[in-house]
Amino acid sequence: MSATQLAWDDTVLPFQLDRADVRGRVVRLDGVLDQVLKQHAYPPLIEALVAEAVVLTALIGQAVKLRWKLSLQIRGKGPARLIATDYYGPTDDGQPARIRAYASYDDERLDLGAVPFSQIGEGYFAVMLDQGEGMVPYQGFTPIAGSSLSNCAETYFAQSEQLPTRFALSFGRSQIPGDTAHWRAGGVMLQHMPQAGMSVEVAADAGSGEGGLLHHTDILGGEAGENWTRCNMLLDTVEELELIGPSVAPTDLLVRLFHAEDPRVFDAQPVRFGCSCSEDKVRATMSIYSQKDIRTMTTPEGKVTADCQFCGAHYEMDPATLGFEAAKAPGDAG
């Protein structure tokens, strides 16, 4: 394994293009994506959707503060019913962020000859932000649009935040000679910084994008629009192997793409696979049920079981310790 791999795998690097008033991030995912996907035996079409969603989550989530949580949900009427991801901000300065993801799908309806994105069908792309106890969670929704989840995320930022945003992603199975194949991904996010220079607000259904959705040309004008177009043209030159690495460090990639835009980098954020499930949380969820309800959930073996959809953790609990009519405390053998 190269030093570049050790230094940049499973990190998100924030940067800013000072000349163009554009900010962005570079992500490299190796072990994180592999761990997310190995929790489930998804068919290839669903694996690709989950992989893309995880990369987008890492890029978007890097901006959340300590102990905040960002979630993406893609719901559709097609065979891919739900793609859900969570990004947990670091618990303390210097700690890694955590990502988890899962998918719900109808295996019998999958079209094996089609592209992954077509399996979603009509639906919506949602971003949810939980700022912690005592704060009302933020939720934003936009219709499924374009030809990829990246397009959906771009539409969300244009429509809901009125911030021109662009993603370039690459992901897939990688194999070093003599080693087993594993998932690897990389990507770049560009976003125009909110400031004077944005054009007059456009009505939500009067944009020039698909179905009247907003497009960056509806938001930016003048010099700001020229700067944004120039940066996008530079990003168009990126190659898939440059995005994934590991031979090209993110800093070298930024210099190669945007050296004339005065790129400035900030501290990289490490990311890890991580789930927040626990038996205590399962018990808290069950606390609203009566013993009569609990009995309907009890297996013939006399246990209530629960499985985490994100990490596959399996919990078995004594029904007498569950619900608001619990007869005994957890761990009580009496």
What domains can be seen in the chain, in order of their start residue?
3-273 (3.55.30.10), 279-321 (no CATH)
User: Has residue 129 got a pLDDT over 90?
Assistant: yes
Whether residue 266 contacts residue 250, with contact meaning beta carbons closer than 8 Å, is answered with: no
Mean per-residue pLDDT over the chain, rounded = 88
pLDDT tens string 209-261: 777 777 777 788 788 889 999 999 999 999 998 998 778 899 999 999 999 99
pLDDT number for residue 203: 61
Averaged pLDDT, 64-69: 88
User: Has residue 8 got a pLDDT over 60?
Assistant: yes
**Percent of residues, the chain, with pLDDT higher than 70:** 91
pLDDT number for residue 79: 97
Whether residue 209 contacts residue 145, with contact meaning beta carbons closer than 8 Å, is answered with: yes
**pLDDT band with cut points at 50, 70 and 90 for residue 200:** very low
pLDDT number for residue 3: 45
Global pTM reads 0.87
Q: How many CB atoms lie within 10 A of CB 87?
A: 28
pLDDT number for residue 2: 46
**pLDDT band with cut points at 50, 70 and 90 for residue 162:** confident
Averaged pLDDT, 109-119: 95
Strand-pairing partners, residue 126, are 73, 141
pLDDT number for residue 1: 45
pLDDT tens string 146-161: 999 999 999 999 888 8
CB neighbours of 245 closer than 8 A, spacing ≥ 6?
4, 5, 8, 9, 28, 184, 186
